[in-house]
Structures are given as structure tokens and as C-alpha cells.
Amino acid sequence: MTVRRAHAVQALAALQSEYSLWWRRPEDEVIPTLEELGIGFVPYSPLGKGYLTGKFDENARFDSSDFRSTLPRFTEALKANQALIDLLGLIAARKKATPAQIALAWLLAQKPCARGSVSLEAGANDRPVRGRRGYVEFIYALQQHLSYGKIRLKTGSL
């Protein structure tokens, strides 16, 4: 079922999908559709399943019990993806931050729909989502990583 069809049957408050510096596919069709329909977007895995933390390099290997061992991004493409992590590390060093902080700052610098316009408290353009543990944890992580916005990225920084 498409987002439009689902929204026509029952108004959607938000849609959750993977979105990060590393996985930007929602920008193609999903986010524009959500913006058009006034639906919020909650990013899943904004740190790229841990990769954007800078803790892994091209030599990382994952145990067969780790789901990342089945993902091409973490297996055969790991070396090609290292350039992104190296760049993220350079930007982080210039900003006196961690790669994770820069990845989250990038996320917050995106369009309101893309950065998670669904809030815990209803505002003029926000839809309340209460009791969503994952979203609460996401907001807490952002606050901890970003220290309430001390990292500033200018358009084109990444």
C-alpha cells in the first residue's frame, strides 16, 4: 500500500524510514510526498546502523549473528564507503565534535519533514506522538550528542 492510499483511508501522523547521510533514498519520493500531505517523518537509524559513528573502518568484520553481516553496505561496499567516514572525521575534527555529532547535526539541518517534524508536544505544524519509546529515545540521543545545538553546520558544509 502506498503512503497516499494509506493516508486516504486513515490520516497518518508520521512515517518512519531509514534516513542518514549514508542512506538518503527517502529524499527521492518519500519525503516530498510526506511534505505534500502534511505527514511527519521520523528518521530510523540516523547513524547508519552505527557506521556514521566512525567506530568502523574498511577492515571491520561482523559476526554472523550481527544483521549487518548480511548487508552489502557492511560487507563488499565497506571499503568504498570509507571515503564518507574519512570526510565525516575531518569535518568532526574541525568542529571539535565526533562523527556521530556531525551526522546528527546534518540530519537536523534538513527540511522539517526530514528531520522528524513529529514532536512530543503538539505545535502549530506538529502532530503529537505520545508513548512512542523509540522517538523519545531518538530525541534524547540528539540532545546528548548535540548538546542542544552547539554544533552549527552551514548550507554546503557536507
Q: What angle, 0 to 180 degrees and rounded to 10, lies between the N-to-C axes of helices 133-146 and 99-108?
A: 120
pLDDT tens by residue, 8-46: 999 998 899 999 988 899 999 999 999 899 888 888 888
pLDDT at 75: 83
What is the C-alpha separation between 116 and 16, in angstroms, rounded?
9
> Phi and psi at residue 88, in whole multiples of 5°?
-60, -40
Give me the residue spans of the domains in the chain.
Answer: 3-146
Percentage of the chain beyond pLDDT 90 is 23
Residues 6+ apart with CB under 8 A from 97: 105, 151
Instruction: Give strand pairing partners of 15.
Output: 41
pLDDT at 158: 53
Fold of 3-146: TIM Barrel (3.20.20)
pLDDT at 116: 46
Tell me the CA end-to-end span of the chain in Å, nearest whole number: 34
Indicate if the pLDDT at residue 130 is higher than 50. Answer: no
Mean pLDDT of all residues in 142-152: 54
Q: Evaluate if pTM is beyond 0.85.
A: no
Residue 141 C-alpha cell reads as: 540521543
What is the C-alpha separation between 98 and 63, in angstroms, rounded?
26
Place of cell 503538539: 122
Beta strands in 45-158 (DSSP E): none
pLDDT tens by residue, 110-120: 865 554 443 33
Average pLDDT, the chain: 77
Mean pLDDT of all residues in 72-79: 84
